[in-house]
Amino acid sequence: MSHSYPDQSSRSAALSRRARAVFPGGSTRGQTYYRPYPIYARSGEGCRVTDVDGVERIDFLNNYTVQLFGHCHPEIVAALQRQAALGTCFTLATEAEIELAELICGRAKSFEQVRFANTGSEAVMNAIKGARAYSGRPKIAKCEGVYHGSYDYAEVSLDPDPQNWGTDVPASVGHSRGAPKGMTDDIVMLPFNDVAGSRAQLERHADALAGVLLDPVPSRCGGYPASPAYLAMLRDFTRQNGSLLILDEVVTWRLHYGGAQTLYGVESDMTTLGKIIDGGLPIGVIAGTAEAMAVFDSSAGKAACPHSGTFTANPMSMAAGIAATRMLTQEAIDRLNGLGERARDKLRATFARAGVAGQVTGEGSLILMHLSEQPLGDYRSTYRAHTEAAAARLESLFRHLLNHGIVLSTWGMACLSTPMGEAEIDHLADAVYASLKEMETDNASAETS
């Protein structure tokens, strides 16, 4: 069924109007909202999602990298059905949580013990609290502009602008209005991939530093990985300083059987996981060395970092996680990474064919399109490249792609799932080309009207 977006007579538009009465701004989840109204899903199967108006599209967003195995994978569905028939949650522990923990501990050298949470944000929050408990120090360092979930400390300087991002050293800026200064003072900002600048910042706060939080391939820094020299500096500093290196692999775990840390050869003290590790259900994981993870040990009394949760390690998430982790083989990852390289090559050629200034970055099965040729590599260069005009063009591209059977993010991010093949990659490139040419026609019409 064909259905042009936007269409105020559509069921999605009607649901959006209905939602405005019960949700602030008409949405309960910021990522799913876009103007003039968000599309509502009815079902998904494989790499495709069908909306409430019956329109089917290839899902290149996969709930922001979650659905690595696509929608309704038979093995995950079967695991959930079996567990649902036995019970969805208990006040007792289950064997499934041990089984999933054992599978995770076998994936990376630094994974000696794990602790489950409910989301990646929760995992990051507890890793930060754990680092403070381990070191007895208050401050955490993170890279400017990098997203680590919704914990307020992790959100500091998520999206600063030139008026408040500082000059000689990056300023710590609250993300939510009213963020207390005492909180921002405890977050040390680092310039991503700047070895000398970051080292100087770390040394300046060394006595108060509990840990360093790092996404190895931050999308908000252009989608480029941390350099070997940068990773080595952070690892050396934290070891010498007695602070913890925390890797946020909620997204990058898809890059290798043992995550980005194995691919890039760096060992963390703690790692946070989520999203793809659970086949579409909520989960968070803190994994690390036995020494670092001991802060969560409450077997002899109150833990240094108390941690619990009503839905932590719930059997449904454990069942889905076991199925998903078993399927996340190196062979499956290598195939997806190859498709990712094909997608980046095809999209670069598409930009050139359409005569559009742009670039395509990303690692493995993660893809980022930028409608700018300005150099990228850290938050500030990416911010400068993504001007208001460039951002508007990316959002326009997103809308046009909806009418060519493609779902990706409003800011040019795409990710792949295992049901995809070369045909889906080729369809993406063709759809981007058609959309860019339509945008060119739209602009020409606007200029002459």
The predicted-structure confidence for 170-210, as pLDDT tens digits, reads as follows 999 999 999 999 999 999 999 999 999 999 999 999 999 99
Which residues face 190 on adjacent strands?
143
- Fold matches, 11-68+330-448 and 74-327: no
Render pLDDT for 88-144 as a digit per residue (tens, 0 to 9): 999 999 999 999 999 999 999 999 999 999 999 999 999 999 999 999 999 999 999
Calculate helix-pair angle for 74-86, 315-327, nearest 10 degrees.
160
CA atoms of 244 and 239, how far apart (whole Å) = 7
Render pLDDT for 215-240 as a digit per residue (tens, 0 to 9): 999 999 999 999 999 999 999 999 99
Spatial contact of 283 and 321, defined as CB atoms under 8 Å apart: yes
Render pLDDT for 397-419 as a digit per residue (tens, 0 to 9): 999 999 999 999 999 999 999 99
Q: Give the three-class secondary structure for 95.
A: helix
CA atoms of 164 and 400, how far apart (whole Å) = 34
Q: Could you tell me which of 276, 272, 335 has the C-alpha nearest to residue 63?
A: 276
Residue 165 has a pLDDT of 87
Give the burial string for 47-77 (b: 16+ CB within 10 Å, else e).
Answer: bbbbbebebebbbbbbbebbbbbbbebeebe
Intra-chain end-to-end CA distance of the chain, in Å: 33
Q: Which CATH number applies to 74-327?
A: 3.40.640.10
Neighbours of 229 (CB within 10 A): 10
DSSP-derived secondary structure letter, 412: S
Spatial contact of 110 and 288, defined as CB atoms under 8 Å apart: yes
Q: Which CATH number applies to 11-68+330-448?
A: 3.90.1150.10
Spatial contact of 335 and 327, defined as CB atoms under 8 Å apart: no
Residue-range domain boundaries for the chain: 11-68+330-448, 74-327
The alpha carbon dihedral of 341, 345, 346, 348 has a sign of positive
pTM: 0.97
